[in-house]
Amino acid sequence: LNNAGVMAIPDLRLTKDGYEKTFQTNHLGHFALTSTLLPLLSSHARVINVSSQGYLFASKNGLELDNLNGEREYGPWSSYGQSKLENILFTNELQKRAQNSESHSNLTAFSLHPGAVQTDLARYIIGEEKFISMKENGFSNWKDKLVMESLAKFVLTVQEGASTQVFLASQDVGSLEAGKFFDAGKVTAVQAFAADEAKGVALWDVSEKLSGVKFE
C-alpha cells in the first residue's frame, strides 16, 4: 500500500537525491519501494497506489515528461496533480506488465481517490509553522478556530478516508477490476490522458533510470 505523500508545497524544493520533493515523495519513492519488495511478495499480491482526483490539476495535455522535476516550471498544485497522475499511470503500466509476465501474472494493482481527509497534508496550505503551532498549542485566535472547525465538517475522518484502501486490500480480488481507479469503493473512469499507455511506458523507463531500480 503506497500511501505516503505531500501536497501543495509552496515552492520548488529538492530532496537530498536532487529530485523535486513532490515527484520523489508521491511517485518515485513508491516506484522504487514496490520494485524492491516485489521479489518478496506473494505471486497473488496486490499493489494499491493512493492517487487522487487531484490528478485533474495536471496538464490537460497529460504527463509532462520534460517537467517531472520542475525543470521548466513549478506550481504547488500542478506539481501535486502531476504526481497523482503518475500514480495512475504507474498502476496501469504495472498491471499490464504483471499480466504479461510469468512470475507475476496473478498480481493485481489498483489506484484510488481517498477523498478530502483530515491529515497533515494541509500543512503546506496553512503554513508549516502555523500548522505545527496549531497542532501543539491549539488555535491562537477565534478566526482560526472558526475556519478550521467549519472545514472539518466537510472533510473525512482518517478512518473514512482509509475505507477505499481497506476495501481494495481485503475484498475478494476476483470481484475487483484489476488496474482500475477507484473512488468511494467503486471503479471510476479517468480522463483519457490518465490512460495514455505511451506516457505510462515513458514514465516507467525514466523512473527506473532515476531510481536506479528495475522490476525483475
* Angstrom distance (rounded) from CA 126 to CA 147: 11
Q: How far apart are CA 135 and CA 142, in angstroms?
A: 15
CB 125 within 8 A of CB 147: no
- Residue 107 CA to residue 44 CA, distance in Å, equals 5
150-157 long-range CB contacts below 8 Å, 24 or more apart?
152/118, 154/116, 155/115, 155/116, 155/117, 155/118, 156/114, 156/115, 156/116, 156/117, 156/118, 157/117, 157/118
Q: Are the C-beta atoms of residues 191 and 57 closer than 8 Å to each other?
A: no
Cell numbers that stand for 94 in this block: 504495472
Give the integer Cα–Cα distance in Å for 197 and 40: 27
Q: Rounded CA gap, 59 and 204, in Å?
A: 19
Q: Enumerate the active-site residues.
A: 74
Q: Are 182 and 188 in contact (CB under 8 A)?
A: yes
